[in-house]
Structure 1
Amino acid sequence: MRVRFTGYISIFLIVLCIAQGQEDSLLKQLDNAQGKQRIEILHQIIINVWLNYPRQAMGYGEEALELSKTLGDSALISKSLRLIAGVHYYKGDYDKSLEFNQKALKIAQALEDSALINNGFNNIGLLYYNLGSYQTALEYLLRSRGIKERIGEIYGLTTTLNNIGLVFERIKEYETARAYFEEAYDVSIEIVNRDTELYSLNNIGITYLREGKIDEALGYFRRGLKLGEEIENINWGAVSARGIAEVLMTKGENDSVEYYLEKSLKASDSIDDKKGLAEAYYLMAKNSLMNEDYDGALDNLSKCESWANQIQVRQQQLDNLKLYSEIYDKQGNEELENEYLSQYINLRDSLFQDVMSRNLDLIPIKIKEEQDRFLLTEQQIKIRNQVITNQLFTVIIIITMPLLVILIILLRKNHKKNKELQRNNEELKQTQKLLITSEKMASLGVLAAGVGHEINNPLNFIKNGIEALSSKIGDDKDEELKSYFRIVNEGVDRATNIVKSLSHFSRKGPSIDERCNIHEIIENCLLILHNKIRNRIRVATNFTDQGAELKGNEGRLHQAMMNIISNAEQAIDEEGTIEISTRKKNGFMEIEIADDGEGIPEENLLKISDPFFTTKPPGEGTGLGLFITFSIVEEHGGSIDVQSTPNEGTKFIIKLPL
């Protein structure tokens, strides 16, 4: 039964005294407060009630915003906008929440207020996650974490860590996601934040559930439910109950499933949590389908759809269409099954296009990164100027100081300082190189994971559709029709192999202790470049039969091999040959990649490993490919020898220790 309140007076019955132990309630303070003090009290009340009573929180938010505008205090305006955005978020209105958060962030950036900027990045990142733009979400959230760690805001760090984990959980990187959730849990224990402790427990449980480790998942959800009841957190307590129900559904314990779903439903209904209501009815529909209660499944799914449409939860709408098609499939209603399956495909494609357009929001962030690099260059110039100043100071000391002992002491001190400045300068240069490389690899990893995820879904639909069509036609189909089926299946298998090859480029981590098969790495790179090579370039391979395994970082070696083979392909204007051979020699694996392309002029041979050196027209090359390749091989303790003759071709000989 939904709990109702009459007016704002009831809200104050649940608002506790201020944390400092003052005797007056927030209500009494609000009655007597004016100006900035009143706004700050309103902000505190919003935070206390927005989870369970969003409608009342919105009223306080609007009052705080108007008062802030009257005072002309930009910081208070930004915070009021952010809190209103939070209320919209808990109501499930993500587009509205994004709009208010972006307004708040714009003001915070104008004020150069690190705390407000970091809150803006965190909130916008979480909203992009809910809207399905995972790459954009990760960009914002990682920046939020960086600011929080720099300014020492430990309290808000737990929320950001959880949000980063949610992004990795959605793209099925469960171990990475769990690492962020567990870190958030540890910080919550340290700062005694029971709400984020509960949030982290639920998130850890979800990762185990998605991996099929249901006993571990059940343990975390039960801990979450108990903690939710202790601290009276209705929202996340309901999430724990739904998690328990989903685990028990997997175990087939139907009676217990219904109990926990009803518990979750009542809790979400009491606080008007539309998102929670939609999720509860969705699980009820799945449970009814498992029990072959098709009418009950359709009834519950209809209720879920009603709530999901109100708050525009895109992923829930997508899941609903998929479940509708499954229900009608079980009923044998092929017409409705195909209709909902078609709607599912159309919505999924529409959401993908929306994700691509939202990524345009990254452009201002990229511009800010360029500004940061400019500041880094200015800092290096200042260091060089300081070195010159110190040297001049040393000369003056030599001229003016009469005592040799004092002169020697000062010279030693100054020399030591100069060495330290030069070392700092080298460290800054190295940091700049690592920034460029890590940014390229991070973008490639997220892109590869996202593209692989998005392409695999339509491939599965094609594969299942062909199998269903083949089974309906039966064994009496003619040979021509069978050949068409084989052609389609071959195309799907080939596309699947390409997606698997992409996954190698999303391997993360600095470890170079992985077992890597250099032949498989080369074959994967050739598969990715197949469309550029076929019908134009002949590839000849001569691999050693003595084994091809060595220790290294598979993702980094993929990047290095891809850069060299891609350069060989680009060096051949029309038709030509690329020869790739491997051999073991003196404790090293030697990989030789030769092409008969245009070659490299002698004056450029010594520059090809320099960052930003390129002979390509502006806009067609960054000059980072071979620089990154040389860096990767050096990290692995190897070396690269380049031999080239203009108009005859180029040969790269890569040596990697076995």
Structure 2
Amino acid sequence: MRRTRYTAIFLLFSIMSYAQVDSLINYSNQAEGKEKIDALHKIILELWLNYPDRAMGYGEQALELSRQEGDSMLISKSLRLIAGVYYYRGDFDLSLEYNQRALTIALKLKDSALINNGYNNIGLLNYNLGSYQTALEYLLRSKEIKGKIGENYGLSTTLNNIGLVFERVGDYETARAYFRQAYDVAIERKSDDNELYSTNNIGITYLREGNLDEALRCFRKGYVLGKKIENINWGAVSARGIAEVLMQTGHPDSAVQYLNSSLSASKSIDDKKGLAEAYYLLAKIAQTQGDNERALESLQMCESWANEIRLWQQQLEVLKLYASVYDGLGMEEKESEYLRMYINLRDSIFHDVVSRNLALIPLKIKEEEDRIRLTEQQALIRNQVVTNQLFTFIILITVPLLIVMIILFRKNNKKNKELQRNNEELKRTQKLLITSEKMASLGVLAAGVGHEINNPLNFIKNGIEALSKKLENNQDDEMKSYFKIINEGVSRATNIVKSLSHFSRRGPSIDERCNIHEIIENCLLILHNKIRNRIKVLTYFTEQSAELKGNEGRLHQAMMNIIANAEQAIKEKGTIKITTIRGKDFMEIWVEDDGEGIKEENLLKISDPFFTTKAPGEGTGLGLFITFSIIEEHGGEIDVTSTMEEGTKFTIKLPL
């Protein structure tokens, strides 16, 4: 099985011994202002790994005091520490949210160390959420910043995190190279915790490759070190690694002893993730010994912990093992039920990953704009310094020319303003080009994914059809249910790939045959994960033909922006109604929501580029601007009406 592991990602201060916690708490009770906040931060670092619930209370107190002080640096640190507590509690979504808030402040402060920590944390969280390409991008950016500012502190952690990404995608040799670099840095800085962490990671790569002797050597070394430095969490990880090696080498009784040791350690610190992993291995051992009843008991314990902290990879493994155990018991109906649950969860996870990667596009655009803006400001400052020096030199050398210079300055001032206006237009065009390139990249990604996934899907589908025909006269009800389950999985994956492929069409032609109803259905399929269980979608489609001429990829983009805006306007639960009407010369599409509405003074601005009412980092203000441009390219028009607290209606008219 693939086991996700706790990792040290939010290090800011020196790690101190547990004996200092009480003295720190006493000191924080007496201290005031920034000294009190610093003490609270150190307490959180002492507690978050083994006692995350206690650490959260101190984190909330530190954040409130930081806001009272009005110190952006302290607010950013408090947010990141709270994100760390959520991480160790297994709530990766909330941890990602708090880290992004901390990174937004760090970018405004232009603090390289804080920005570096933000990239590192967000990278590892994307790894845990299954977005491996995005994770690697952020982690390599963090490593690059460390090199530029000469910061070695935390380098071992970043190298370990990069190695985790390569380990997850099966490149064990590259992963081990990064883990060994991390180990060397930990030894150099005398960081026992990072030494233990790196040792465990190296052992896991050997375990995945089947080199059990080297894996056992690493885990035993980590187990001894964990006891020496009293690191309960990672010591338990070493124990589970030893148990897995012993299980594979035919020593189940010894493996159970180490797993019981791991369970005791994880229970002492309320490590739900460690408990889930230990019970899973106990279930596998019981199955290999033919004790299916004991295997089911351990699986139930594993399932309860994995579901509580949403360990989706562990949940998938549990469902597969359930099916295998019930197969051994001859309970075919139960086996089919768990296989179906496995397919449903796998499809849901795929939807989540796709949606999360699409949602990251605006954030990446915003980061790119921030970097461009910073470069422009630095260039402007350098130019201003040169201009001031030259101006002073001229005044000192020749005062009589001052009058002439004033006259020339007045004449040039008008030209400078005109150049400034032209420069602003160029900047806006440049930012639009950046956005266009990002969307084009998304199209290339969608096309690549569609091509690479469709081939194996066709192999599966054709193989199942051939097998079904060959066994047509010998099929019983059980075999038919298996064929049905596999066909359902293939159909779902095919629909997702088909929907993504529409967004990869970026050609200039507006002479394609486009079916508006299919475009809307594709957009709703992509947004299904955000809409389900929260928003009711009502469609009232005309029974007449919904075809018209246009650019299918661009129309997909326009409708996606409008429907996504409607979904974002509904904060809790609500309804989106989509109506199509075919007239003599035009096709009308109404998109109505019962969300929070748009203020009257903002209605005339929503088509302006870069206008947005969202918080920094949540929107670029380009979505509706691009949408209006696309509809205009097609000779159509958009009308928007809205009432606060009642909802908004978009009316799109496209010529037939």
TM-score scaled by length of structure 1 = 0.57
Partners of 1:367 and 1:386 lie apart in 2 by 29
Q: Encode CA deviations 1:540-563: one digit per residue, 9 max, x unaligned.
A: xxxxxxxxxxxxxxxxxxxxxxxx
Q: Give the direction of change, closer, same or farther, for the CA distance of 1:209–1:261 in structure 2 (3 Å limit).
A: same
Q: CA deviation at 1:475?
A: 8.6
Q: Encode CA deviations 1:586-626: one digit per residue, 9 max, x unaligned.
A: xxxxxxxxxxxxxxxxxxxxxxxxxxxxxxxx99xxxxxxx
Alignment partner for residue 289 of structure 1, among 264, 279, 287? 287
Work out whether residues 15 and 45 of structure 1, in 8 Å CA contact, stay in contact via their aligned partners in 2: no
Partner of 2:19: 16
What letter is aligned with 1:298? L
Q: SS of 2:18's equivalent?
A: coil
Q: CA deviation at 1:33?
A: 1.2
Q: Summarize the alignment of residues 176-325 of structure 1 with structure 2, pairs less than 5 Å apart.
A: 176-325=174-323
Answering whether residue 155 of structure 2 is matched by residue 152 of structure 1, we say: no
Partners of 2:459 and 2:329 lie apart in 1 by 22
Partner of 2:50: 52
Q: SS of 1:154's equivalent?
A: coil
What letter is aligned with 1:126? L
Q: Encode CA deviations 1:30-71: one digit per residue, 9 max, x unaligned.
A: 233111001101111110111111111111111111111111
Work out whether residues 92 and 275 of structure 1, in 8 Å CA contact, stay in contact via their aligned partners in 2: yes
Q: SS of 1:135's equivalent?
A: helix
Q: CA deviation at 1:476?
A: 11
Q: SS of 2:341's equivalent?
A: helix
Alignment partner for residue 142 of structure 1, among 121, 137, 140? 140
Q: Encode CA deviations 1:494-518: one digit per residue, 9 max, x unaligned.
A: x9xxxxxxxxxxxxxxxxxxxxxxx
Work out whether residues 98 and 127 of structure 1, in 8 Å CA contact, stay in contact via their aligned partners in 2: yes
Partners of 1:290 and 1:332 lie apart in 2 by 16
Partners of 1:445 and 1:148 lie apart in 2 by 32
Q: Give the direction of change, closer, same or farther, for the CA distance of 1:214–1:460 in structure 2 (3 Å limit).
A: farther
Work out whether residues 132 and 315 of structure 1, in 8 Å CA contact, stay in contact via their aligned partners in 2: no
Q: Encode CA deviations 1:520-555: one digit per residue, 9 max, x unaligned.
A: xxxxxxxxxxxxxxxxxxxxxxxxxxxxxxxxxxxx
Partner of 1:368: 367
Q: CA deviation at 1:187?
A: 0.6
Q: Give the direction of change, closer, same or farther, for the CA distance of 1:54–1:463 in structure 2 (3 Å limit).
A: farther
Partners of 2:385 and 2:33 lie apart in 1 by 49
Moved over 6 A (4+): 373-387, 442-477
Q: Give the direction of change, closer, same or farther, for the CA distance of 1:385–1:124 in structure 2 (3 Å limit).
A: closer
Partners of 1:333 and 1:211 lie apart in 2 by 34
Partners of 2:448 and 2:186 lie apart in 1 by 30
Q: Give the direction of change, closer, same or farther, for the CA distance of 1:453–1:94 in structure 2 (3 Å limit).
A: farther
Partners of 2:93 and 2:453 lie apart in 1 by 23
- Percent identity between matched residues is 58
Q: CA deviation at 1:365?
A: 2.4
Q: Encode CA deviations 1:306-352: one digit per residue, 9 max, x unaligned.
A: 00111011111111111112222222222222221111112111111
Work out whether residues 135 and 447 of structure 1, in 8 Å CA contact, stay in contact via their aligned partners in 2: no
Partner of 2:65: 67
Partner of 2:97: 99
Partner of 2:576: none
What letter is aligned with 1:172? G
Q: Summarize the alignment of residues 223-622 of structure 1 with structure 2, pairs less than 5 Å apart.
A: 223-359=221-357, 360-369=359-368, 372=371
Work out whether residues 80 and 102 of structure 2, in 8 Å CA contact, stay in contact via their aligned partners in 1: yes
What letter is aligned with 2:197? Y
Q: SS of 2:106's equivalent?
A: helix
Q: Give the direction of change, closer, same or farther, for the CA distance of 1:271–1:264 in structure 2 (3 Å limit).
A: same
Partner of 2:539: none
Partners of 2:177 and 2:445 lie apart in 1 by 18
What letter is aligned with 1:97? S
Q: Give the direction of change, closer, same or farther, for the CA distance of 1:457–1:74 in structure 2 (3 Å limit).
A: farther
Q: Give the direction of change, closer, same or farther, for the CA distance of 1:227–1:443 in structure 2 (3 Å limit).
A: farther
Q: CA deviation at 1:354?
A: 1.0
Partners of 2:216 and 2:446 lie apart in 1 by 33
Partners of 2:452 and 2:52 lie apart in 1 by 35
Partners of 1:164 and 1:150 lie apart in 2 by 18
Q: SS of 2:153's equivalent?
A: helix
Partners of 1:217 and 1:449 lie apart in 2 by 37
Q: CA deviation at 1:246?
A: 0.9
Partner of 1:77: 75
Q: Encode CA deviations 1:382-438: one digit per residue, 9 max, x unaligned.
A: 999999xxxxxxxxxxxxxxxxxxxxxxxxxxxxxxxxxxxxxxxxxxxxxxxxxxx
Q: SS of 1:16's equivalent?
A: helix
The size of the alignment, in residue pairs, is 428
